Amino acid sequence: MKKLLKLGASALALTIAASAVHAEGKLSIYHWFEYMPQELLDKFAAEYDVEVTMDTFDSNEAMLTALKAGKMGSYDVTVPGDYMVEIMAGEGLLDTFEPSELSNFGNISPQWVDVSFDPGRHSSIPYQWGTTSFAVNRDVYSGDIQTLAIVFDPPAELQGKINVLDSQGEVIALASIYLGIPQCTSDRDQLRALNDLLQSAKPHWASFGSDTAKDVLVSGDAAVGMIWNGFSAKAREEGANIEYAFPKEGYVVWMDNVVLLKDAPNRDNALKFMNFLLEPENAAAITNYAQYTAGVEGVEGFLDESVKSAPELNPPAGGKGQFIMACSQDVQAVYDKIWTDLKK
Amino acid sequence: MAKKLDLRRFPGFLPLTFLCLFLLYAPLIIVMVYSFNDSNSITNWGGLSLRWYVEVFTGVESEKFKSAAINSISIAIMAAIISTSIATLAATAMLKAGNFRGKSVGFALINLPLMVPEIVTAVATLIFFSAIGFTTGYLTILVAHIVFCIPFAYLPIAARMQGIEDVYEQAAMDLYATRFQTFRLILLPLMTPGIISGFLLAFIISLDDFIITNFVKGAGIETLPTAIFGSVKQGIKPNIMAISTLLLLVSVVFVTLSYLVGRMGQNKKVTTD
Amino acid sequence: MAGGLPKSSESNTSTYAGLGALLMLPSWVMIGFFLVLPVGLMLVYSFLTKEFRGGVIWEFSLAAYDQFFFDRGLFGDDPPVIEWTYIKIFWRSIWQAGLATFFCLIIGFPTAWFIATRTGANKSIWLFLITIPYWVNLLIRTISMKFLIRDNGPLNEWLLSLGIISDPIHMINTNFAVQLGLFYSYLPFMVLPIYASVERYNFAFSEAAADLYASRLTTLRHIILPFVKPGIIAGCILVFVPSLGAFLAPDLLGGAKNFMIGSLIEEQFKGNAGNWPFGAAVSMILLSMVLVVLTFYARQQSKGGVR
């Protein structure tokens, strides 16, 4: 017992000692785990003499809940998805800055400056973006896959072999796109149609799962998997004969953004960090690591060949991508009901 | 001597025990095998390789995983020791101290951490910690772990204690042992199997916790579960399998050592077992 | 309790009489301060108005409980009828947790028995053998289990090669897999408490029973089981109660096509719903159900004289 206690105490001392490094300033990041190469953090810390600490979360909603439950004020920046930026701004969790405060602001790709969730970019900068649709195992199905019917009204040979993401937002957004109805519609007939579509599709689905979305495709447990493009590319590299679809009805576009939090203890360093991430070389480093796409101009020269040429990362010209919208309270209540009924 | 059947044996118990071990260990074989996979996949075999072990020790993320492992194990050890001690005292109170004020709600209170769904404990604890001005970090994780480990330690200990008659302790007291001596020399040794069971359960429940830890941890502190669940942006890679295998190795070494130490101790003492 | 064993006689001189409150103090402080207060807050939350996207507005409201018990249609303006959705989810979770507990007991009891009848240091080795797999994270263990029971996974291939089956058994994404997930998450929590109480069993009782021509089964039922009952009950509590709120392993193996109580509550705090009062209310309903059962058990126990 005593020995164990000693071991524990020394481990504690070790952890405390490890975090006591001297630096000019500090920066506290709330981020996804394994979404930022450590070298890049080290590079920033060395270049600006800033001590960087990072805490992690596993979903947009978990991050929001933790911030609202008391973690506000302890972080400078975090990395929410598109719709979450809008929600956080609405909740008053975000600070604003002027584009002139970031010397690299002009590097942001023009298409990502005036985005619906943060018009003119006063609280956020692009981090990485990608798409969400689905991938199909070409050993099982050789027909046309550029339609969302593969998921919501599947051909006989794919029925019962479909994995969908266990995420209300993505499933309902894709279903709305398939039906051709606007997201967050309050039209009752459209909402009923949405409900009916999901209810009729569910018997064809084998499973809901996000953590294993990639692995079920690689192992062959699922022949169709709703999935993010980067995951699909990885699944293909791991040997699955799958093809990622850009359905004709449209698909979901998502974008993670670095936002400046209200009550940031180190606002200046946060802005330095955001500016740092807008350097093409640094943005490219993240893309090479995470295999999504940067929202910054001029990264091409720094990208790995495999990332540049991956079909998953290059949507066709004229592809109809939509951001997931943050709905009003009334519509969200109906969505919740639809989702609960789907999984009751 | 053994003209009768061995009363310690029941037909079918041995096969069920082996079924139990099979169920527990079969998935671990998969973990170990795939830690040597040359591919990025955790489900497709790409040939034999040590690359993931190399990555665990020298990769860019190796520091992160090392500190996560140290955090996880140190928190689990401390949480298990403290909660087992608390639970031992509580079990003594509940079963060996007659009646006292508050005993009737004691059982429910001690088991409360089992009954509250984890996510609720997580959110409520975070709200509470920030309300009383605790900064989240290593200490908040430890406190939260101690709390939810208590019932896991308490129940085996109390189950054990219910089988211990008062006569031994009464005899000791009759021989003028103080109550503390009685507790230390009589009750504690008799309860050892319960305490070991409680400790082990508290240890594994703490080592595995994700939901609560994820909310009450602070900047810079990861545990293995938060690192593993957090890798949603990258997917799970065989490096996790390599880390798991290494952890298994550590645990086996630990067990072997304690076995050898125990053997040495036994050889020294004259045992009547 | 039947069985005729020498039970600890109801002595009025409890060894540590008078120290009860003192010995309980550490657990009361830890749980009282760090759990009862926060959970008390959640109880209050369940009666407040929900704030959109998480959080509460400090205005009294029964909306959360109303949502649990009454169905007002897709758009919330139909006349209320009884809501079966959540009752169904509760029933499913209770049923799954009950079955998982049963299977844990069937496998766990013989294992605990086997360990308790080893000699000396071998016992601890066996105890460690049961817990070592749990050094590996639940997510990883479950994913590997999933790999194992796939249609073309190792288990099916092995059974096929032995000729035991002619077609692969489809296990993944079935109710069986949900069971397996729960069972696998909590097995040691059954084995260890039972071990702790079997270990004290005195085989003189079995010998006495055998001398009186009791069969093995009779001995097991009338002598051994009553003796180890505290361990069995402790094990059942440790498996059943956490199983009620568990969802990770059963969801991964079972396909997550249906909510369990745990995933329903999780969705309120970590999902799009962001309905904290409802999540709190569901938890309070679950908590009070378990509390009633446990209190009933504690009453029975104190009545039975086992103290």
Select the residue from A5, A15, A21, A236 to test the B interface by mutation, using most B Cβ atoms within 10 A: A15
Minimum CA–CA partner of B139 in chain A: A12
Residue A262 has pLDDT above 70, yes or no: yes
Higher pLDDT pick, B249 / C122: B249
State the chains in contact with C (3 or more Cβ–Cβ pairs under 8 Å).
A, B
The predicted pLDDT at position B5 comes to 58
State the chains in contact with B (3 or more Cβ–Cβ pairs under 8 Å).
A, C
Q: Of the candidates C231, C208, C299, C297, which has an alpha carbon nearest to the alpha carbon of residue C4? A: C208
Q: Are both A282 and A323 inside the same structural domain? A: no
Q: Are both A222 and A328 inside the same structural domain? A: yes
For the four alpha carbons of A311, A316, A319 and A323, in that order, the dihedral sign comes to positive
Q: Are both A116 and A56 inside the same structural domain? A: yes
* C131 contacts chain B (CB < 8 A): yes
DSSP assigned state of B48: B
A97, A123 Cβ separation under 8 angstroms: yes
Cα of A225 to nearest chain B Cα, Å: 15
A 10 A CB-CB count for B234 gives 20
| pLDDT tens across the length of chain C (307 residues) | 333 333 344 444 577 878 888 899 999 999 999 999 999 999 999 999 999 888 899 999 999 999 999 999 899 888 999 999 999 999 999 999 999 999 999 999 999 999 998 887 788 888 889 999 999 999 999 999 999 998 888 899 999 999 888 888 999 999 999 999 999 999 999 999 999 989 888 888 888 888 888 888 888 888 888 888 999 999 999 999 999 988 888 889 999 999 999 999 999 998 888 899 999 999 999 999 999 988 887 777 665 444 3
Instruction: Out of B123, B169, B271, name the one closest to residue C15 (CB).
Output: B169
Rounded to the nearest 10°, the torsion over CA B21, B24, B29, B34 is: 180
A 10 A CB-CB count for A90 gives 12
Q: Of the candidates B112, A222, B116, B167, which has an alpha carbon nearest to the alpha carbon of residue C11? A: B167
The predicted pLDDT at position C12 comes to 45
Q: Of the candidates A288, A281, A286, which has an alpha carbon nearest to the alpha carbon of residue A310? A: A288
Q: Of the candidates C282, C305, C220, which has an alpha carbon nearest to the alpha carbon of residue C93? A: C282
Residue A9 has pLDDT above 50, yes or no: no
Instruction: Out of A18, A70, A238, name the one closest to residue B129 (CB).
Output: A70
> Mean pLDDT, to the nearest integer, of A182-197?
96
* C74 contacts chain A (CB < 8 A): yes
Q: What is the CATH number of the domain that holds A229?
A: 3.40.190.10
Pairing of strands A242-244, A124-137: antiparallel
> Mean pLDDT, to the nearest integer, of A103-108?
95
The predicted pLDDT at position B271 comes to 42
CB distance C275–A208 less than 8 Å?
no
For the four alpha carbons of B33, B39, B45 and B50, in that order, the dihedral sign comes to negative
Q: Give me the percent of chain A exceeding a pLDDT of 90.
A: 76
Residue A261 pairs in a beta bridge with A94
* C152 contacts chain B (CB < 8 A): no
Cβ contacts (< 8 Å) between A327 and chain C: which residues?
A: none
B67, A18 Cβ separation under 8 angstroms: yes
CB distance B215–A38 less than 8 Å?
no
3-state DSSP call for residue A261?
A: strand
The Cα–Cα gap between C153 and C263 comes to 28
- ipTM for the whole complex: 0.88
CB distance A5–B40 less than 8 Å?
no
DSSP assigned state of A242: E
CB distance B220–A32 less than 8 Å?
no
CB distance B8–C127 less than 8 Å?
no
The Cα–Cα gap between B72 and A110 comes to 45
The Cα–Cα gap between C212 and C219 comes to 10
3-state DSSP call for residue B226?
A: helix
CB distance B108–C294 less than 8 Å?
yes
CB crowding B261-273: b at 16 or more within 10 Å, else e: eeeeeeeeeeeee
C24, B89 Cβ separation under 8 angstroms: yes
Q: Are both A289 and A324 inside the same structural domain? A: no
The Cα–Cα gap between C276 and C266 comes to 10
Higher pLDDT pick, A287 / A12: A287
Q: First-to-last CA distance in chain A?
A: 48
Minimum CA–CA partner of C141 in chain B: B27
> How many helices (H) and strands (E) are present in chain C, helices listed first?
14, 4
Residues 43-102 of C with CB under 8 A from B: none
Cβ contacts (< 8 Å) between C137 and chain A: which residues?
A: none
Cβ contacts (< 8 Å) between C144 and chain B: which residues?
A: 27-28, 30-31, 34
C1, C229 Cβ separation under 8 angstroms: yes
Residue A15 has pLDDT above 70, yes or no: no
The residue behind tokens 């230390």 is: B184
* C108 contacts chain B (CB < 8 A): yes
CA–CA–CA angle C253, C257, C263 (5° rounding)? 80
The predicted pLDDT at position A186 comes to 94
Q: Are both A94 and A143 inside the same structural domain? A: no
Select the residue from A10, A21, A33, A72 to test the B interface by mutation, using most B Cβ atoms within 10 A: A33
The predicted pLDDT at position B103 comes to 81
Q: Are both A55 and A112 inside the same structural domain? A: yes
Pairing of strands A50-57, A25-32: parallel
The Cα–Cα gap between C5 and C3 comes to 6
The Cα–Cα gap between A80 and A59 comes to 9
A56, A35 Cβ separation under 8 angstroms: no
Minimum CA–CA partner of A19 in chain B: B220
CB distance B197–C193 less than 8 Å?
yes
Domain C87-306 part of CATH 1.10.390.10: no
Q: Are both A298 and A215 inside the same structural domain? A: no
Cα of B259 to nearest chain C Cα, Å: 7
Minimum CA–CA partner of C54 in chain A: A65
What count of CB pairs under 8 Å joins A to B?
Answer: 133
Residues 76-135 of B with CB under 8 A from A: 77-78, 81, 123, 126-127, 129-131, 135
A130, A290 Cβ separation under 8 angstroms: no
CB distance A58–B61 less than 8 Å?
no
**Identity of the amino acid at A64:** L
Host domain of residue A271: 3-128+255-308
Q: How far is CA B234 from the centre of its chain?
A: 29
Cα of C285 to nearest chain A Cα, Å: 18
C179, C102 Cβ separation under 8 angstroms: no
Residues 6+ apart with CB under 8 A from B70: A11, A14, A15
Rounded to the nearest 10°, the torsion over CA A89, A211, C280, A68 is: -20
CB distance C85–A212 less than 8 Å?
no
CB distance A62–C270 less than 8 Å?
yes
The predicted pLDDT at position C296 comes to 82
* C183 contacts chain A (CB < 8 A): no
Q: Are both A11 and A46 inside the same structural domain? A: yes
Phi/psi-derived region of residue B133, left when phi > 0, alpha when psi is between -120 and 50, beta in every other case: left
Residues 16-45 of C with CB under 8 A from B: 16-24, 26-28, 30-32, 34-39, 41-42
Q: Give me the percent of chain B exceeding a pLDDT of 70.
A: 94
Determine the longest span between alpha carbons in chain C, in angstroms.
73
Q: Are both A54 and A162 inside the same structural domain? A: no
Residues 254-313 of A with CB under 8 A from B: 290
Q: Are both A329 and A229 inside the same structural domain? A: yes
Q: Are both A231 and A276 inside the same structural domain? A: no
CB distance C107–B97 less than 8 Å?
no
Select the residue from A164, A219, A226, A325 to test the C interface by mutation, using most C Cβ atoms within 10 A: A219
CB distance A207–C256 less than 8 Å?
yes
* A91 contacts chain B (CB < 8 A): no
Q: Are both A175 and A281 inside the same structural domain? A: no
Q: Of the candidates B180, B189, B182, B177, which has an alpha carbon nearest to the alpha carbon of residue B166? A: B182
Quick one: tokens of C236?
């059942």
A77, A51 Cβ separation under 8 angstroms: no
Provide the number of structural domains found in chain A. 2
The Cα–Cα gap between A154 and A161 comes to 10
Q: How confident is the model at residue A251 (pLDDT cuts 50, 70, 90)?
A: very high
Instruction: Out of A59, A68, A334, name the one closest to residue C74 (CB).
Output: A334
Residues 6+ apart with CB under 8 A from A309: none
Cα of A30 to nearest chain B Cα, Å: 8
* C147 contacts chain A (CB < 8 A): yes
Minimum CA–CA partner of A32 in chain B: B230
Average pLDDT of every residue of chain A: 90
State the chains in contact with A (3 or more Cβ–Cβ pairs under 8 Å).
B, C
The predicted pLDDT at position B255 comes to 83
Question: What's the number of CA atoms in the CB half-sphere (13 Å) around residue C132?
Answer: 25
